[in-house]
């Protein structure tokens, strides 16, 4: 009997680092997880210590391997997926970061983006990168570090500094400083990479004042990018899969053909649709991004970010104290036939795609004397589905494609009421997988595909297993009426506060 093969997935997230070992059936057999500090130097600023990220990732690897008790020789590849846009700059001479990592959530460079927009650069960035000009992405963060760390700009010009997203930092560490690389999906989130020419863009680097010599080499998302240094595992293990977290989830959900789409329901939600070999420019408030690159061939995606979905359930629990546990919401929602005309618009931090309204705020509309706890809980759950429809409608307009099936993952979608309402509202089938660790699974799939653990897409398709299907059963006039009312509710939430109140 031949020995079993495994793939180790490293899932480096915003609040914790995880390591998950997958077997050839695509099942997780062991897990390690380690949280790390969130650093808030002042309001709106978010940082991580890059060394703490590395230590937490290494500790999670050790915990996972101790639990698995699998010989190292049977681990055939490592796949890496990461919180996107978070930015590290380190000194090649020492291997040490010169400043904390600036996290994707950090708003410190919002004024830089305002200035660039005022200078007329919005369309330049959108056309070259597919992104909106926002502090969310990496480019302005690199510039900020170079401008605020003494001597950094001179060191960068002299070729001493390296810039990378978290995947680059982990690979640099794992390879003992031998490799400074990233993949197409992460490069496409930096505001520095041209998604059409597949090059670091000289114009964008010049506008943001980032020397090109700082940028990593861009490699395939599925392919051997380097080998681990023997100090870590004794053996050299190929690092063969790299993708940003949402693109990894798209791959892990088996969305490999144009028109297939997935939605991840976390604190917020990320809806991505595979658009194939052509980048589709968005006119509906979405971003165009690279999904992955395999054998030098790039696949593109449309992406819509929703700020508050699962977090609305936390709000019901922690602030309103209408529930004790998120699991209660399913039964509470089903205890009433509908919301009684109540709509919750959870625009607590403004509205994301497709509205992009920073001045919107949360509202509850349609309240009557008969409105009760169950109506509000149900309306909060329904808001998750309504926001997802907003993004999906924009995607179908941009791409000219209809979506007949949506694959879903993330904690909130375990709620059967939400899954069914989502299917009803979209008038499409909602498919939920058995393995909900789709982000880590995507990284494992990319790595295993490159190393022969799965010798093609057919074995990968067999490794993806369905948990449940939800079919639409709502009458069309009901669906249309509910959605029109939702759109009216959103109008009430828009543009609520004055810019001076921000």
Annotated binding site for ADP: 14, 18, 267, 310, 411, 415
Q: Are 454 and 405 in contact (CB under 8 A)?
A: no
- In order of 247, 355, 455, the CA distances from 387 in angstroms are 20, 10, 38
Geometric angle at alpha carbon 59, from 248 and 251, rounded to 5°: 5
DSSP 8-state secondary structure symbol assigned to residue 453: S
Half-sphere exposure of 200 (CA within 13 A, CB side): 22
Contact 81, 89 (CB under 8 A): no
Report, in angstroms and rounded to the nearest whole number, the Rg of the chain calculated over CA atoms: 22
> 3-state secondary structure string, 84-152?
CCCEEEEECCCCCECCCEECCCCCCCHHHHHHHHHCCCHHHHHHHHCCCCCCCCCHHHHHHHHHHCCCH
Neighbours of 332 (CB within 10 A): 20
Give the span between the Cα atoms of 491 and 323, in whole angstroms.
Answer: 28
Q: 253: helix, coil or strand?
A: coil
Helix (H) or strand (E) holding 21: strand 16-23
Residue in the structure block whose two tokens are 């930096």: 190
**Bridge partners of residue 162, in order along the sequence:** 90
End-to-end CA distance of the chain: 65
**Strand, helix or coil for residue 75:** strand
296, burial (CB in 10 Å: exposed 0-12, middle 13-18, buried 19+): exposed
Per-residue exposure over 462-501, b if at least 16 CB sit within 10 Å of its own CB, e if not: ebbeeeeebebebeeeebeebbebbeebbeebbeeeeeee
Q: Which residues of 135-148 are buried (b: 16+ CB within 10 A; e: fewer)?
A: bbbbbbbbbbbbee
Q: Is the peptide bond before 354 cis (omega within 30 degrees of 0)?
A: yes
Q: Which residues fall in the annotated binding site for ATP?
A: 14-16, 267, 310, 314, 411
Question: In 253-299, which residue ranges form alpha helices assigned H by DSSP?
Answer: none
Residues of the binding site: 14-16, 18, 84-85, 136, 245-246, 267, 310, 314, 411, 415
Cβ count within 10 A of residue 97: 20
As annotated, the binding site for sn-glycerol 3-phosphate includes: 14, 84-85, 136, 245
């Amino acid at each position: 009997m031949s020995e079993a093969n495994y793939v180790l997935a490293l899932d480096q997230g915003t609040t914790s680092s995880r390591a998950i070992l997958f077997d050839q059936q695509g099942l997780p057999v062991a897990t390690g997880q380690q949280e790390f500090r969130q650093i808030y130097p002042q309001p709106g600023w978010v940082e991580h210590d890059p060394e703490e990220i590395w230590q937490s990732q290494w500790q999670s690897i050790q915990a996972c391997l101790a639990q698995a008790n699998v010989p190292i020789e049977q681990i055939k590849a490592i796949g890496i997926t990461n919180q996107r846009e978070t930015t590290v700059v380190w000194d090649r001479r020492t291997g040490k970061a010169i400043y904390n990592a600036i996290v994707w959530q950090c708003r410190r460079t919002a004024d830089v983006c305002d200035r660039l927009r005022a200078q007329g650069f919005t369309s330049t960035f959108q056309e070259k990168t597919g992104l909106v000009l926002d502090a969310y992405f990496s480019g302005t963060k690199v510039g900020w570090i170079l401008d605020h760390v003494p001597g950094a700009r001179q060191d960068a010009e002299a070729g001493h500094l390296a810039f990378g997203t978290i995947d680059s930092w982990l690979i640099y560490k794992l390879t003992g400083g031998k490799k400074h690389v990233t993949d197409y999906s992460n490069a496409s989130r930096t505001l520095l990479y041209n998604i059409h020419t597949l090059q670091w863009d000289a114009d964008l680097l010049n506008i943001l004042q980032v020397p090109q010599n700082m940028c990593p080499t861009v490699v395939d998302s599925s392919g051997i990018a380097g080998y681990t240094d023997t100090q870590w595992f004794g053996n050299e293990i190929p690092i063969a899969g790299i993708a940003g977290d949402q693109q990894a989830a798209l791959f892990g959900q088996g969305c490999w053909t144009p028109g297939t789409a997935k939605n991840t329901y976390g604190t917020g939600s990320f809806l991505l649709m595979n658009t194939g070999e052509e980048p589709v420019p968005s006119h509906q408030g979405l971003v165009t991004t690279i999904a992955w690159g395999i054998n030098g061939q790039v696949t593109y995606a449309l992406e819509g970010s929703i700020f508050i979905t699962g977090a609305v359930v936390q709000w019901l629990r922690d602030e309103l104290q209408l529930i004790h546990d998120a699991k209660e919401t399913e039964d509470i929602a089903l205890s009433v036939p509908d919301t009684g005309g109540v709509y919750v618009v959870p625009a607590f931090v403004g509205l994301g795609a497709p509205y992009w309204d920073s001045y919107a705020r949360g509202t509850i509309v349609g309240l009557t004397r008969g409105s009760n706890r169950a109506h509000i809980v149900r309306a909060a759950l329904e808001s998750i589905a309504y926001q997802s429809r907003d993004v999906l409608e924009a995607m179908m307009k941009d791409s000219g494609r209809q979506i007949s099936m949506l694959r879903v993952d993330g904690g909130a979608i375990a709620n059967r009421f939400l899954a069914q309402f989502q299917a009803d509202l979209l008038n499409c089938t909602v498919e939920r997988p058995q393995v909900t660790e789709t982000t880590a699974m995507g990284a494992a799939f990319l790595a295993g595909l490159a190393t022969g653990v799965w010798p093609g897409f057919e074995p990968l398709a067999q490794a993806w297993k369905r948990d449940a299907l939800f079919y639409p059963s709502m009458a069309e006039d009901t669906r249309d009426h509910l959605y029109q009312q939702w759109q009216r509710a959103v109008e009430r939430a828009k543009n609520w506060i004055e810019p001076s109140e921000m």
